[in-house]
Copies of this chain bind each other. A is one copy, B any other.
Amino acid sequence: MPSDILTVEQLDEKALLERIFPRLGPTTALIGPGDDAAVIAAPDGRTVISIDTLVQDADFRLLWPSGYRTGGYTVGWKCAAQNLSDINAMGAVPTSLVVSLTLPGSTEVAWVEDLASGLAGAVTSLMFDTGRCSVVGGDLGRGSQIVVTAAVTGDLEGRAPVLRSGARPGDVLAFTGALGAAAGGLAVLESSLDYSTVREEPDQLLATLVASQNRPHPPIHLGPRAAAAGATAMLDVSDGLVRDAGRIALASGVGIDLDAEYVRTRAELLAPAAARLGADPLDWVLGGGEDHGLLATFPPGAVLPKGFVRMGIVQDGGGVTVGGVAPQTTGWDHFAG
């Protein structure tokens, strides 16, 4: 590595933090970074909390087979987005992130700075700069690979949290957000295509899919709206539509039938890209994760919040079917071989 590239092992912790903090933007906490802990407002009297991690070479690669290099901004964005999505899926509004960075000493400081910018960029973009949420604290340490963990809090604004267990037979199943795009992007990144060429026509759709994989746009404002509209169950689709629908089915003790026409239409949107890669777009739609769209059930006759589309029904029984037929795809498991 050229000697003019600044790496984290050349800086002490204080110097590195001084490069990170300005990129996080103004704190929204009552007491922000700099003490043993931060203090955030919890006006509801309850706090929603979750934690999620991105690991180098498991959740992202710095250099993909396609030649694509993952910048720090992308990893920061993705980490924030998937954490905010977990709060969204409870029907709550995100209020803070605390972030722990484990970094090899050889990590470029500029990459870490970009990661901080990506964290802040996702919060600002996905929450429309409401000034309610920011990175309020963190931790830095050394390791052999990059690990980025964020814990996220949220406020329920007086509403009940929307769990996975409240779906009832007869409820409407509805969805909002991207579906299969992130999985398509992953397939592009892992393919033998030369990424430097896929940004141009006729392959521009492939680049769009890569953007979905790298910088997901979960519909953060729609979780609270679904809760207010009476959603009986909700989760974010992070491990694949069939698998995550199955979680609602299991927790609620119901069956879920996905509308075959809806699934087919979503797959058709991805078909040109899938054909280019020799993949089946149905696999992406039914089994792909990481888009972080919202899957929710509503009582029959409920007015769906704008953005949600009816795409199935809740019925007696158990498990997930597509047009009454068991699907072939299950989705993502971190450990299954």
Q: CA of A186 to CA of B164 in the docked complex: distance in angstroms?
A: 45
Kindly state whether residue A273 has any CB partner on chain B within 8 Å. no
Contacts of A302 in B (CB 8 A): none
- Per the bound structure, the CA–CA distance linking A333 and B15 in Å amounts to 11
In the bound assembly, the distance between CA atoms of A253 and B332 in angstroms comes to 53
A47 near B53: Cβ-Cβ < 8 Å: no
State whether B37 touches A87 (Cβ < 8 A): yes
**A side interface size, CB within 8 A:** 75
Contact (A45, B45) CB under 8 Å given A90-B37, A151-B151 = yes
- A5 interfacial by beta-carbon distance below 8 Å: no
Copies in the complex: 2
Interface residue? A303 (CB, 8 A):
no
Once the chains bind, are B37 and A154 in contact (CB under 8 Å)?
A: yes
- Closest Cβ of chain B: how far from A96's Cβ, in Å? 6
Is the Cβ of B34 less than 8 Å from the Cβ of A139? no
Q: CB-defined interface of A159-197 with B at 8 Å, one 1/0 digit per residue?
A: 001011000000000000000000000000000000000
**What residues on B are CB-neighbors of A49 within 8 Å?**
37-40, 96, 98, 136-137, 151, 153
Query: Could you list 11 further interchain pairs (A-B, Cβ under 8 angstroms) beyond the known A12-B335, A42-B42?
Result: A12-B336, A37-B49, A38-B48, A38-B50, A39-B90, A43-B45, A49-B153, A51-B98, A51-B99, A51-B137, A58-B142
Binding site for B on A (CB under 8 A): 8-14, 16, 30-31, 34-53, 55-59, 85-87, 89-90, 92, 96, 98-100, 102, 105, 136-145, 147, 149, 151-154, 156, 161, 163-164, 235-236, 251, 333-337
| 10 interchain residue pairs of minimum CB distance | A151-B151, A42-B42, A37-B50, A36-B89, A51-B98, A12-B336, A149-B149, A55-B143, A53-B100, A36-B86
